[in-house]
Amino acid sequence: MKELSLEKICKVNTKTDSFVGIQVTGEDISVYFPLGFRLSDSDMERRKDVLLLLNVLSNNTDREESRIDSSGKQKDMSMPIYAYLFVISDYYSRGYYRESETINCISKRGKINWGKTIKTQRPIIDNDELFFFDFVTRKQNVNDKELITLIHEYCVYESFERIGWIFTSFKPPKPKLSKNRRLFSNVIKKKISETFNDINKQLFENLLAIINTLGDDNAPKDYRFGTRDFEYVWESMIDKAYGIKNKVDYYPSTRWVIDDKEYENHYLRPDSIMLANGKVYVLDAKYYRYGETGNGYNLPQSADINKQITYGEYIAEADAFQDADGNNPTVYNAFIMPYDSFGDTFHTERTLHYFGNALSDWKASDGIKPYEKVAGILLDVKTIMKDYSHNDRRINELIEIIENNIGL
């Protein structure tokens, strides 16, 4: 792979249906970041941006959507992106894996094997004390030509070929061993079953992941790792950061009744339900362009707004949510959309930014009940990608911005 400038290959999408991830076509590499992402200014920091993107994609998609180009078609392929990353990182910290065996020898230096020394060496007795002039010592004999080392060399080279450009322009020497997937796999599986060293076992498991995806020598090297549906990644991060784990109780349901028979329909499913201080916050993560354009045409429209109000009304009025005194909880609604807090459109430098609210004509024009106003909130993309952990600080910050602007 040719030496790369990350400034040239890293791009931020301006459309919601664009591919997000890494795409390699021959010698050309492109890295596409999601809408609203703020790229760093130096190549060193951009490398961190790329690793951040890989981490988010891996942890928030059901499967790794990697593809290789084969015979003019795009085929699904399991791309062991994190196996490559592990193997490269392990190579930098420990070098190539070397098989070694412990041998015993007669020497005055080294780690003494007292059991074998006492059994095999004759001591000198002086004043009832034993003295040994020769000892049996342990020595590690390293065999540089072990097959496992050659297989490791092959996988290290393959890893650098695929994604080494993220780290450096350096490339290790070409492997001495020709590819033999069946042999490689059998050797590594045997090592996995025999080793009790956790780090080595983890290395072998990642080597096996790479070996399992080795194709034919003539196969194209083109691949993609990422998704065209980043909206689901966006929803996943929002839900992990703010939502409760079991939200099925908050799904409004419907059914048909015909001739005394009932036919249940699918639930309406809000993206996230946040609970705090006895109140309910219904959050809808929208991967829309408003944070980039500031254009009202890029906002949620009537169907989304009315559905959100329905969620709120169901929770605020259904008997299932009443407390011991017969009171339903206070319910709030919010849309959460991506933006760059340091960008030109909304330069706020704040993680969260309230910009307005949505109303429906079938409710009171001023939104008498809290859930009848749906708060419009922008969330800095890079901030949430770096940390979408569920914690009180983050939740309280969102509560404050919703209630300060929607609270009645």
What is the full DSSP assignment across 263-330? Answer: EEPPPP--SEEEEETTEEEEEEE---SHHHH--GGGS--HHHHHHHHHHHHHHHH-GGG--TTSPPPP
Q: How far apart are CA 249 and CA 319, in angstroms?
A: 12
Q: Once rounded to an integer, what is the mean pLDDT over residues 51-58?
A: 90
Residue 352 pairs in a beta bridge with 379
Q: How many domains does the chain have?
A: 3
Q: How far apart are CA 108 and CA 324, in angstroms?
A: 82
pLDDT over threshold 90, residue 394: yes
Residue 135 lies in a domain: yes
Q: Once rounded to an integer, what is the mean pLDDT over residues 395-400?
A: 96
| Residues spanned by the domain of 43 | 1-76+213-228
Residue 42 lies in a domain: yes
Residue 119 lies in a domain: yes
Q: Are the C-beta atoms of residues 6 and 33 closer than 8 Å to each other?
A: no
Q: How far is CA 2 from the centre of its chain?
A: 27
Q: pLDDT at position 216, please?
A: 53
pLDDT over threshold 70, residue 116: no
Q: pLDDT at position 237, please?
A: 96
Half-sphere exposure of 5 (CA within 13 A, CB side): 3
- Residues 142-192: pLDDT tens digits? 454 588 999 999 999 988 888 888 877 778 888 888 888 889 999 999 889
Q: Are the C-beta atoms of residues 152 and 97 closer than 8 Å to each other?
A: yes
Q: pLDDT at position 292, please?
A: 95
Residue 159 lies in a domain: no
Q: pLDDT at position 260, please?
A: 85
Tokens 């062991």 belong to: 80
Same domain, 122 and 239: no
| pTM for the predicted model, two decimal places | 0.77
How many helices (H) and strands (E) are present in the chain, helices listed first? 12, 18
Q: pLDDT at position 325, please?
A: 86
Q: How far apart are CA 6 and CA 2, in angstroms?
A: 12
Same domain, 343 and 389: yes
Same domain, 224 and 234: no
Q: pLDDT at position 213, please?
A: 82
Higher pLDDT pick, 342 / 180: 342
Tokens at 1, concatenated: 């792979």
- Residues 240-280: pLDDT tens digits? 999 998 887 888 877 888 988 888 877 777 789 999 999 99
Where a domain ends, among 90, 125, 142?
142
Tokens 């459309």 belong to: 15
Same domain, 236 and 381: yes
Higher pLDDT pick, 186 / 130: 186
Q: How many CB atoms lie within 10 A of CB 53?
A: 22
Higher pLDDT pick, 43 / 235: 235
Residue 325 lies in a domain: yes
Higher pLDDT pick, 129 / 160: 160
Instruction: Select, from the ranges 101-110, 125-134, 277-286, the one with the highest average predicted confidence (pLDDT).
Output: 277-286
**Closest of 188, 161, 165, 189 to residue 175, by C-alpha:** 161
Q: How far apart are CA 359 and CA 367, in angstroms?
A: 7
